[in-house]
Amino acid sequence: MTTDSSATKSSVVPAADRKGPPGWAEGLIGQLLAIALSLVGGAVIILMVGENPLHVFATLLRGAFGSTDRIAGSLLQATPIIICGVAACIALRGGLFNIGVEGQLYLGGFAAAWVGFSFAMPPVIHVVVAVAAAILAGCLWILIPALFRAKFGTNEVVTTILANYIAVLLTSYLTISVFKRPGGWSETDPIAVTARLPQLLPDSRLNIGLFIGIGLAIGLHLFLRHTSAGYAMGAMGANPKFAEYGGVRTRRNVFLILLASGAVGGLAGGVETLGVHHRFMEGFAPGFGFDGVIAALLANGNPIGMIGTALFFGALRAGSLLMEVETNASREIITVIQAFIILCVSAQILIRRRSGRTGERRWKF
């Protein structure tokens, strides 16, 4: 019983018919459709709590883009999502699924803060060492899932999800029991001024992390497009058996790709503590890692597209603050809208699988 049927059968459908719009346009249409449907879903929920959806959405918009400060607020929220999105894109494009970005973010955040408040160093060097610590922590946090995946084929989705819980609780423990600031909240001592990331605007916590994120996304895009290693990685993501056959060292690369993804996840945490909070606080970055993963998925693993979706998620988060103050709609509406988006995206992936349009990217859910 051969498995070659798809080739023989599909040849009946004329080639011209299967062209459709180019890949990226198709992706964009899908994204916009997902977002539009989700807003409609959100509107229904808002109606159910007795609010006017138009008013709520208008407030949301105003909260996100109403003034320079608010735009800065949106960008501030988007920054960790972009960096986490890059982490997720790296794995996705290599045919892997790192859902543990959240955990790597927590560990990276803690490691950077620890370097920030424990040591005295000259300005630039302090930042560099703290960022390096964040990257290293992210790497370490994905080391076991990466090794297991490469050695035994253990599904990385399961292992990285499990690592998330450990990361959140471990950093909580370290913050409350070991490094707690006397008399303060569940947070560590503030980091030294020398370890802070430069800010972009005088009255905002928006910092160069935004450019780090955008730079990484563009870098990943160029890497995939123009380098030999990026080509091999993309081939692994598109058809791992083809890559293996063509001489790509898939086992070794699986390990390296996951490590790189974890490193960027750790960096996201470092940027957040060094640039925004200037200390480590328990639960300092709720859901940024997951938002990054969703932003990457929504963009089909394309880092440039991911910047767009991450900015959208950032704006939603920022806008929801004003929405909560001025209307009766709770901030959780945003979570509802995001959940709708996830549903739409997974439905699209399913539909594409059904109609046999994939065989392309293999994400293991």
Partner 1 sequence: MTYAIEMQAITKRFGTLAANKDVTFSVRRGEIHALVGENGAGKTTLMNVLFGLHQPDEGVLAINGRTVKMDSPRTAIALGLGMVHQHFKLVPSLTVAENIFLGMEMTRNGLIDRKAQSAKVAELSSAFGLHVDPERRVMDLSVGIEQRVEILKVLVRGAEIIILDEPTAVLTPQESRDLFRILRSFTEKGMTVVFISHHLTEVMEVSDTVTVLRDGQVVGTKPTRELTEDELVRMMVGRDVSFARRERQPANGGTVLNLSEVCARDDRGLPTLRDVSVEVRAGEIVGVVGVDGNGQTELAEVISGLRPVSYGTISLAGTALENADPLTIRKSGLSHVPGNRLARGVDASASIASNILMGRHQTAPWVRRGIVRWSYVREQAGKLIRQFEIRASSERALVKTLSGGNMQKVVLAREFSQNMPFLLIDQPTRGVDIGAMEGIHDEIMRQRNSGAAILLISVQLDEILKLADRILVMFGGRIVGEVDPESTTEDEIGFLMAGRASSEAKVAS
Judged by the rule CB under 8 A, the positions of this chain that interact with partner 1 are 1-19, 23, 226-229, 231-232, 234-235, 238-239, 241-249, 359-361
**CA 53 remoteness from chain centre:** 28
Q: How far is the CB of 234 from partner 1 (least distance, A)?
A: 8
Distances (CA, A) of 142 to 93, 136, 285, 349: 17, 10, 19, 26
Q: How far is the CB of 138 from partner 1 (least distance, A)?
A: 24
192: helix, strand or coil: coil
Would you list the DSSP string of 119-148?
----HHHHHHHHHHHHHHHHHHHHHHHHHH
End-to-end CA distance of the chain: 27
Nearer to partner 1, 168 or 260 (CB): 260
CB of 239 closer than 8 Å to CB of 118? no
Hunting for tokens 């160069």 — which residue is that?
Answer: 208
Nearer to partner 1, 151 or 198 (CB): 151
Contacts of 206 (CB under 8 A, 6+ apart): 72, 73, 75, 76, 79, 199, 200
Q: How far is the CB of 245 from partner 1 (least distance, A)?
A: 5
Nearer to partner 1, 222 or 347 (CB): 222
- Of residues 90, 317, 116, 322, the one with CA closest to residue 216: 90
Q: How far is the CB of 247 from partner 1 (least distance, A)?
A: 4
Q: How far is the CB of 144 from partner 1 (least distance, A)?
A: 24
Q: How far is the CB of 243 from partner 1 (least distance, A)?
A: 8
For residue 15, the 8-state DSSP code is G
Q: How many CA atoms lie within 13 A of 4 on its CB side?
A: 3
Q: How far is the CB of 229 from partner 1 (least distance, A)?
A: 7
Nearer to partner 1, 177 or 228 (CB): 228
Q: How far is the CB of 14 from partner 1 (least distance, A)?
A: 3
Nearer to partner 1, 332 or 360 (CB): 360
Q: How far is the CB of 238 from partner 1 (least distance, A)?
A: 4
Nearer to partner 1, 29 or 44 (CB): 29
SS (H, E, C) 321-363: HHHHHHCCCCCHHHHHHHHHHHHHHHHHHHHHHHCCCCCCCCC
Nearer to partner 1, 252 or 330 (CB): 252
Six-digit token string for 263: 């490193």
Nearer to partner 1, 14 or 183 (CB): 14
Nearer to partner 1, 12 or 124 (CB): 12
Q: Please, is 220 exposed, middle or buried when counting C-beta atoms within 10 Å of its C-beta (0-12, 13-18, 19+)?
A: buried
Distances (CA, A) of 307 to 26, 316, 363: 18, 14, 21
Helix axes 156-173, 101-118, angle to 10 degrees: 30
Please give the torsion angle defined by the CA atoms of residues 141, 146, 149 and 155, in that order, rounded to the nearest 10 degrees.
40
